[in-house]
Every structure is written in structure tokens, then in C-alpha cells.
Amino acid sequence: MRYRYPALLLLVTVVWGLTFPVLKVATGQLSGVEITTLRFLIAAACMGPMVRGVPLPTWRDGLILGALGLASLVAQAYGLQFISANRSAFLTSLNVLMVPLIGWAVGARPGWMVFCAAVLACVGVGLMSFDVQGDFWADLATLAAALTYAAYTILMSARAKNHAPAQLAAAQISCMAVLGACWMLADSGAARVLSLPGLLDAEVWWGLLYLGAVASAATFFLQALAQSHVSAAQAAVIYAMEPVFAAAFGWWYIGEQMTPLALLGGALVIAAVILSQRAESATP
């Protein structure tokens, strides 16, 4: 039973792994802001029935979490315009190391095994993308996305236990949809926004539906449910599985290749996840 909630977070990483090649395809026709906004408008439509009756404190935390999540995803989508899905997954997964370090800086005391697992995971995802060429500004944006998502992970673990999971997910997604729509109008202009339905092909529309309904609405609910029972440091290391699934789906969906070094990195990430579980179960 104790593995139920970590297993839910692992399922979330499987879903997220597929988002990288899907996002990579979408960046051929849309900007990062446009992808993220359309994604959360679709997600908000899916979560619509759950919005009714959401209390004010949940809206407050949903707004804060939503703003952090939106900024992280826009920065990640921007970076994917210029770097591979594998490299993006590696850089994003650096939040694995950022979470316990940020927690330590503000007074938390995660066990030494969690730090070891975080370092091992970062070595693993580093090997997975060691031989891939990058782009300075895209890398910087993706690192900013990782830092922002580390802050999101810490805040989610602290606040999730205070709210009903479905209500917190609905509040976050609704806030992200509204904030994103304002950002998209300011960034793209009304004429561009009105022309979008006619510009996108079927593959991108199906990708956006996946991103909105599955990778946003469903996973936000699962995160809110599971992270009320899982520490931020443990959740972050579980999320390190994301580049493993991203690499697998990238090979299957858009033909990105994995070298033997990358396969070794994936094995190290899996070892880090197992180590994090041992660390959590050993905590009194």
C-alpha cells in the first residue's frame, strides 16, 4: 500500500515522457506560449465540472501553483523549438537535484540517501544527453523551467494536503488557462490567435488534445492526490524517470536515437528511483 502514491507519480512520468516528442512536433507550428495556453484551455474544459464549489483558499494556492507551472511549461516549450526532446528532458530533470538543495537552503533536512539518489539521477540523465548539441538560450530557458518546476514541486507537497485533489487541480488549471490566454493575446496578437484554428494540422490538434486532457487535466489531479502523501524530494527523484520515457517515446514517435551511453544513463536513473524509495521507507 505504501507504494501506491509513488506508483501514481511514476504513471505521471510515463504520460509526461510522451509530451516531449508531442511538444517537439507542435513547436513546428506554434510558439511556446501558444502551445501551453491551448493545452490548458483544453484542460480547463475537461475540469470544468469540478470548478463549482472550489473554496477561496484553494483558488489562492491554485493561482500561485498555476503561475509557477505556466512559467515552467512555457520556458520548456520555448527551449524545445531549438534542442532535441532528449536534451530538454535532461535539463528539465535537473529539478531532481534542485528540490533537495532548495529545501536544505530553507531549513529542511532531507536524508543523505535522498541527496545521493538526486546526484545519481542527474548523472544518469546527463549521460542520456551527453553527446547531443545544445543551444545556449534554449538551454538557459530549459534550466529556468527546471528551477521553476523545482519550486512548484516543493510548494505542491506543502500545500496539497490542505485541499481536495480534484479542486486543487481544477483551480490550478483554470488559473493557468486564464493567465495563458492573457499572455498569448499580448505575445501573439489577436489576429494571430483568431487564425490559429486554420493553421494547425491534424497531428498538432491531436497532440494538443493529449497535452490538455491527459498530460494536464489527468496528471494534475494525480499529482495533487499523490503529493499529499509523498515528500517533495522523493517526488522529484521519481520524476527523474521522465527522460527515460521521453527518450523511449522520442525514438518511437519522432525517430530520435539513444546511444549505449544514453542507455547506461537510463539505468542509473532507474537505480536512483529505487534508492529514493529505500530512503523514504527507512525514514522513521
Tell me the pLDDT tens digit for each residue of 185-226.
999 999 999 999 888 999 999 999 999 999 999 998 898 888
Specify the amino acid at residue 41: L
Asked whether the whole model's pTM tops 0.75, one would answer yes
Which has more confidence, 264 or 190? 190
> How many other β-carbons are positioned within 10 Å of the β-carbon of residue 235?
24
Q: Which run of H or E residues covers position 255?
A: none
Q: Of 114, 172, 142, whose CA–CA distance to 246 is shortest?
A: 142
DSSP assignment of 19-55 equals HHHHHHHHTTTS-HHHHHHHHHHHHHHHHHHHHTT--
Using a 10 angstrom Cβ sphere, with 0-12 exposed, 13-18 middle and 19 or more buried, the burial of residue 202 is exposed
The answer to whether the beta carbons of residues 169 and 43 sit under 8 Å apart is: no
Residue with cell 537552503: 105
With residue 231 as reference, give the H or E element that holds it.
none
Per-residue pLDDT, 95: 81
Q: Rounded to an integer, what distance in angstroms lies between the CA atom of residue 168 and that of residue 191?
A: 33
Taking Cα atoms as reference points, which of 8, 3, 1 lies closest to residue 241?
8
Find cell 531549513 and name the residue: 107
Averaged pLDDT for residues 273-280? 68
Cα(193)–Cα(84) distance, integer angstroms:
27
Type of residue numbered 258: M
Most confident of 55-64, 151-160, 248-257: 55-64
Q: What is the mean pLDDT of the chain?
A: 87
Find all residues with CB under 8 Å of 153, minimum gap 6, and list them: 95, 99, 227, 232, 235, 236, 239
| C-alpha 158: how far from chain center | 18
- pLDDT value for 20: 93
Sign of the torsion angle spanned by Cα atoms 108, 169, 249, 129 = negative
Q: Which long-range contacts (CB under 8 A, 24 or more apart) does 108-112 make?
A: 110/231, 110/233, 111/279, 111/282, 111/283
Q: What are phi and psi of 258, to 5 degrees?
A: -115, 130
Identify the pLDDT of residue 106: 74
Find the domain containing 183 and state its range: 4-282
- In total, how many domains does the chain have? 1
